[in-house]
Structures are given as C-alpha cells and as structure tokens.
Amino acid sequence: MKAAQLVDLHDVEEYWKSRNLIQSDQLTHYVRWLSRFLTGPGSDPGLSHEDALRAFMEQLERRGDVPEWQLRQAGRAVELFQKHYLRHLAENRADADVAVCIQPAAVPTTLDQAMDETRRLVRMRHYALSTEQTYLSWLAQYRDFVRLNGLPWDAPDTARAFLAHLAVRRGVAASTQNQAFSAILFLLREVAGKDTACLSSVRARRGPHLPVVLSEREVQQVLAQVGGTAGLMMRLIYGSGLRVSECLRLRVKDLDFDHGVLFVRCGKGDKDRSTLLPASLYAPLQKHLERIRELHQRELADGHGDVELPHALAIKYPKAVYEWGWQYVFPARERSIDPRSGAIRRHHADPQVMQRIMRDAVQKAGIVKPAKVHTLRHSFATHLLMRGVNIREVQEYLGHRSVETTMIYTHVMRGLNSTAVSPLDALGKTV
C-alpha cells in the first residue's frame, strides 16, 4: 500500500497548525508538497527517510523550473512530516496500519553526527554557503560548551544555558545572540526533532537601530581612495543600491546598458528585482567586461571557463556553464575548489577582500563613522529620498518586502535634512 493511502493529509495539516510549525498562510503550500512527495518517492517502502527526501529533491531539481525558495519549502514540508508528524503517530497511536511504509531515519546520537546532518539538511534546502558556515561555526562553539560542562547536547535546557552564557558571560550583541539562537534552533528542531517552544523566551530583543549613512561628500572621499576593479564594484554598489553579495554574484546578462537597468537575480529571500544602472559607469563597465571576456576566451581554450549555475540549470542546459552571458561580472583572480560540489572553477570575487578595501579607504579618507561596504547601500537609499524620489520606488530598488523597512531611511534623512535649530543656539552668544 502506498504511503499516501496511509496518511490523512488533513490530520497532518491540523497537527502542523496545532504545533505552530508553519505559518497559517503557508499551510496549503506545504500540504501540496507533501502530497507530491507521498505519491512519488515517499511511496517506496524500501527507502529510508533520508533516501526518500533526497530522491524527491533530486526529482524537483531535474525539472529545472522550480525556484530555490520553493525547493526549500518542499524539503521543509517533508522534514516536518518525517521528523514531527510520524514521531507523533508512533508515540500516540498503536495501530500498526498507520505506520508509513518508508523506513524511519536514525536519530543522531552524538553532536558530531547531528552537525553532519545539519550540513546535509542546509545544503538540501539550498541555504546560502555563508548560512551553512555560520551555523556550523556556532554549533562548534555549542559543542565545546556541552563537553566542558558535561551536558546533554539535545536538551533545550542546555541550549538555554549556552545562550545565557553568550549574553551574560561573553556579553555578545543581541544580533549575535540571535544568530547563535537560529543555529541551535535548527539543530534541535530540524535535526533532533525536539520541542523547542521553551526556547522562544531566550531570543534576544533588539531595538530599532538607525543605519550608518555617509554624506555625499563622504562618499566622494571614500570612492576617491579606491581604484581599479574594487573601485568599480564600490561605485556600482553605491550607484545601484546593491548588497555586497548581489554585486559579487552579478552575471554579464544582468547588465542592460540600452535601458540603464541592472537586474538582481536570486537576491535576499530568493527574489529578483531591477534597479538603476548608473550612466557614469557604462564606459568603465564595458571596458571591464572586455578584459573579462578575453580572460574567459583564454579559459575556454585551456579547457575551463565553466561557471556555477543556480537551480540545477546546468542539468537542463549543460552548455550554458560556458556561455558568456552566465559568467560573473567580477570573477575571482584564481580558480578554486567549490566547497560544495568539489568542482574546480573560477568563482566570483571574495567579499572579505571588499570589506578590507573599504575599511582602508574609510581610514585614508579620515572618516570616523563605522562604515562598511553595506553602508554604501544605506547611503544610496538615503540620498535618493533626500532628492525627492518616492519611497515606494526606493523600496523597489532595494528589494524590501515592506515599505516599513525602507522607512528607516526617512528617520536618517530627517536628521540630515532638518531645518530645526537647537534651542541653545537660539539663545545667542551671550550664554
């Protein structure tokens, strides 16, 4: 009998809803993914949980038309079913006919095994490489804490103790504590299948913070310190309002010089958008692309020249990895080993190099503000608003989901563009 015949999807939906595992407006989508899984790989009685999930994700990737965010959603639906609902059935129902045919997965017994499983799940859900590295870095610190204090790694109380240690003993910032919180929450809820409701109280509360913004004069001073390709990248980040990762992942095909538009593909939240392409950068960018194309032609002649493609497009279009349009606008200086696939190819430039160059430029310009590369994006938004550009338009350029996010720049603008006079100054020089 197929697994789909043994599981009541309505019961699964009600269980997810009762445990607040999924947002209510997403439940229908998750149930649909589960239905597809149960009528596909999930119906094979010879597959373990891991193999069934892997087969399902590979099936979706082979289609080539499923966006990355939907792949993550599909994987999440199956994992919630396997790790939570099936365990709920096993604990609360003795009817053997209810058991799903696929074999149960082995629950990690050690933290090292759990960390390996975390890496596997993160990659299967198509999380960013930086997210994977951040999660594993925090879990390594969590492992040291567990071993030092002789505590069980899969107990929510241990997680609470570790987060309290970060906040009280180490005095980390709220954002840093929440970063660790997300990593451990993923470990306990997604890997160990624990009830993590009690952890919500230890999430750090972070009040509203105004972003650091440079004035137009300060932006000029900083950019004057940086030339070459790095200078071109920084000018593009400021001129188009890009995140660092968005600038680094630009492909040649994303630059539309005819219409003055730059396309951001798979930005934060896996969203596409378009933004301004500064006219002052047309000539420098085209000259830069000529040099990159010559490099690409030499690489092709040497038997290389392939590039990583998103969403398993390399399977659907095998020759696209060598096409000029898919090449990075800002490739790395040398070829390197892809940390996930193991392939040797030329990746995009290193973001850490950009941060170092920006730090040096800020120091040389004599600016004391704690400006980073992302500060150029903040400055882009603020300067547009100060010039009278509609906030909805700025929201679209930045790729913000809500206009409330963009409104933070109106608070900065109010301070920079205010006509108010301090009451002390109004008293005159006699005070």
CA-CA distance, 421 to 385, in Å (whole number)?
A: 22
Name the residue among 374, 377, 363 with its Cα closest to residue 406. Answer: 377
Q: Are 244 and 255 in contact (CB under 8 A)?
A: no
From the DSSP assignment, how many helices (H) and strands (E) are in the chain? 21, 5
Block residue for tokens 């005819």: 258
CA-CA distance, 347 to 334, in Å (whole number)?
A: 8
Q: Which residues face 328 on adjacent strands?
A: 251
150: helix, strand or coil: coil
Which residues are designated catalytic? 243, 268, 374, 377, 400, 409
Indicate the helix (H) or strand (E) that contains 154. none
CA-CA distance, 107 to 111, in Å (whole number)?
A: 11
For residue 23, give the DSSP letter: -
Checking 224-228 for CB contacts under 8 A at 24+ apart, the result is 224/365, 225/360, 225/361, 225/364, 225/365, 226/357, 226/358, 226/361
Which tokens in the block code for residue 158? 């241990």
| Cα end-to-end distance, the chain, whole Å | 90
Rounded to the nearest 10 degrees, what angle do helices 373-386 and 391-398 cross at?
160
Q: What is the DSSP secondary-structure string of 32-82?
A: HHHHHHHTTGGG-TT-BHHHHHHHHHHHHHHHS-S-HHHHHHHHHHHHHII
Q: Are 38 and 3 in contact (CB under 8 A)?
A: yes
